[in-house]
Amino acid sequence: MTTPQRTAIPDSVRTNGATPNPWWANAVVYQIYPRSFQDTNGDGFGDLKGITSRLGYLADLGVDVLWLSPVYKSPQDDNGYDISDYRDIDPLFGTLADMDELIAKAHERGIKIVMDLVVNHTSDEHAWFQASRNPDDPHADWYWWRPARPGKTPGTPGAEPNEWGSYFGGSAWQYDPERGEYYLHQFSKKQPDLNWENPDVRRAVYDMMNWWLDRGVDGFRMDVITLISKRVDANGKLPGEDGSLIPDLPVGEEGYSNPNPFCADGPRQDEFLAEMRREVFDGRDGFMTVGEAPGISPARNEHITDPANGELDMLFLFEHVDFDCDGVKWKPRPLDLPALKRIMADYQHAVKDRGWTALFDGNHDQPRVVSRWGDDSTEESRVASAKALALTLHMHRGTPYVYQGEELGMTNAHFTSLAQYRDLESLNAYRQRVEEARVQSAESMMAGLAARSRDNARTPMQWDDSRYAGFTAPDAPAEPWIAVNPNRTSINAAAEVHDPDSVFAFYKRLIALRHENPVVAAGDWTPLAPDDPQVYAFARSLDDGDGAHRLLTVVNLSKEPADLPADVVALLPSKGHSPESPLAVDRVVIATGSDAEAVTALASGHLVPWQGFVVRL
């Protein structure tokens, strides 16, 4: 176990309701997408040695935890989220020895390592699945196998057990001629869902998790972990199956029904997570668990992350990154700031008394936030809006997650051709929506991909302005697996790490502030001006036994000048510049511009575009 190199929150301050306070209560997590982070052997793919080589950069940024997207052995159908061997490293990324070295070197710097855990499904090339294709094998019931619909020819359209669609397009059922049945896959057909109803499946998963913790990792980020409990009727039939007592939902515009209401947060979800906690984590110290939680409400987040219930430490909720579209992600809409504020308020209020929340705007599945909700049209607006968005997120209560390159203000890829994309979801969605179901025009779909494709976050990390952005050598024998963003010449780490006005420098200050100030990490959160269409404002407060401490956060999240909302003005003392006034420069805790500009904004009542600051009240 490694000890983070920062001040712990005193136990006189309540965080998630546990005693003592968990070490991660004022931590910041940095997500690494290994294939796009750093290539050391010139094959065009990032690797574990590359991550180890950049630990100095990550330590300088100040992060406490590295979350690695999957590096297990995999056919790479979904970039490693289709695992064929949980106890080995894919040669694309290196070896187990490389992983051991990364863990050891990170621990020397006080940085913890959290691995991605993908156990809702495996690869169809996993030994468990291959064995399950034989109905007489002990693994026969390790996946969701079902016969063809009665009266239909197996393997033909309409013979699927029900009408569920895959999140990656097409049917959620794939026929296997060897077994003569269909298997369920909520994602790619090469990602069959594990049957968590089978205790042997759960035991095998827990054994594997213990193996990794014994090897030195510090916890897991659990991919779609809230999909592991499916809803079945009294006879074990899924909704919509022949003879099922549970009716399916209507078919949607693409020709399939939605499995999510029957697979997300199922009836045994709490039971499975509590069992995992007992079998894997009880008796261990220094670990962290975070679950990717599609279908989970803020109220359920409170229950699952309440330490008294012994499930998970925190969850990723998705309403705030799912709402800004017309029904499907490929039809994006401009940001509705009051709607975003309502969602974030629900997240914050749900864990006011117990439990915890994970804070994020971007990850490997989301577009770059500065292109999504900011303004990347000019260098000035990109830097300003990247800082404004970072300040807004990091001043909430919870544990912030920084996705690689976010700290540089990296932007969307702005691809213009379908041939430039690599993402399975994006390519399948284009085929399904444009070519097969014909529910979206090619022009509209290309615009949707440019705005929301997962590949926007997966272009190589921009280390410098060289040909391949320092991700791999300029004369490497292989080009990067996906194109480098041309704006590497102006957006890169080499240009930012020593620039005190850079996005990188601003992230360093935000991270240090969370480490040093318990109000930021654990203080109460009170929204202000919830209906203001431009300004995001809230107050933080904490009584730590030595008195009350209050912080005011104000951010103009728009391209236009904005007035200070009345709710904010009401909190300010009469205007003046005494040392006791928040209008004094020494009351400014952090600002996207200069402290003097923040004071001017408070005194005048006007904010310039993308201006934000935090002041002590």
Q: Which domains does the chain have, with CATH numbers?
A: 29-120+199-229+265-411+498-503 (3.20.20.80), 523-616 (2.60.40.1180)
CA-based nearest residue to 83, from 194, 227, 183? 194
Query: What does the alpha-carbon distance between residue 192 and residue 496 come to, in Å, rounded to a whole number?
Result: 43
Residues 520-560: tens digit of each pLDDT: 999 999 999 999 999 999 999 998 777 789 999 999 999 99
Query: What does the alpha-carbon distance between residue 230 and residue 318 come to, in Å, rounded to a whole number?
Result: 20
Peptide bond into 20 cis (omega under 30): yes
Interacting residues of 146 by C-beta distance below 8 A, sequence separation 6+: 161, 173, 181, 182, 183, 184, 238, 241
Choosing from 77, 90, 223, 306, the catalytic residue is: 223
| Range 353-381 average pLDDT | 97
Choosing from 292, 365, 375, 376, the catalytic residue is: 292
Residues 70-103: tens digit of each pLDDT: 999 999 999 999 999 999 999 999 999 999 999 9
Percentage, residues of the chain above pLDDT 90: 94
pLDDT band at residue 1 under the 50/70/90 scheme: low
Assess contact for 424 and 78: CB atoms under 8 A: yes
Pairing state between β 288-292 and 219-222: parallel
pLDDT band at residue 573 under the 50/70/90 scheme: confident
Q: Extract the tokens encoding 482.
A: 């996906």
319 part of the active site: no
Query: What does the alpha-carbon distance between residue 493 and residue 543 come to, in Å, rounded to a whole number?
Result: 39
> Diameter of the chain by CA atoms?
84
Q: What are phi and psi of 428, to 5 degrees?
A: -65, -40
Residues 266-295: tens digit of each pLDDT: 999 999 999 999 999 999 999 999 999 999
Q: What is the pLDDT of residue 582?
A: 53
CA distances from 543 to 282, 517, 522 (A): 32, 12, 10
108 part of the active site: no
Q: What is the pTM of this model?
A: 0.96
Please provide the average confidence, as pLDDT, over all residues in the chain: 96
> What is the identity of the amino acid at 455?
D
Q: What is the pLDDT of residue 7?
A: 82
Q: What is the pLDDT of residue 8?
A: 86
CA 571 from centroid of its chain's CA atoms: 34
Q: Extract the tokens encoding 353.
A: 């008394």
CA-based nearest residue to 62, from 505, 539, 466? 505
Residue 576 confidence (pLDDT) above 50: no
Q: What are phi and psi of 389, to 5 degrees?
A: -65, -40
| Range 11-30 average pLDDT | 94
Q: Extract the tokens encoding 323.
A: 């709402």
Pairing state between β 219-222 and 112-117: parallel
Residues 393-430: tens digit of each pLDDT: 999 999 999 999 999 999 999 999 999 999 999 999 99
Q: What element of type H or E holds 294?
A: none
Q: What is the pLDDT of residue 575?
A: 52
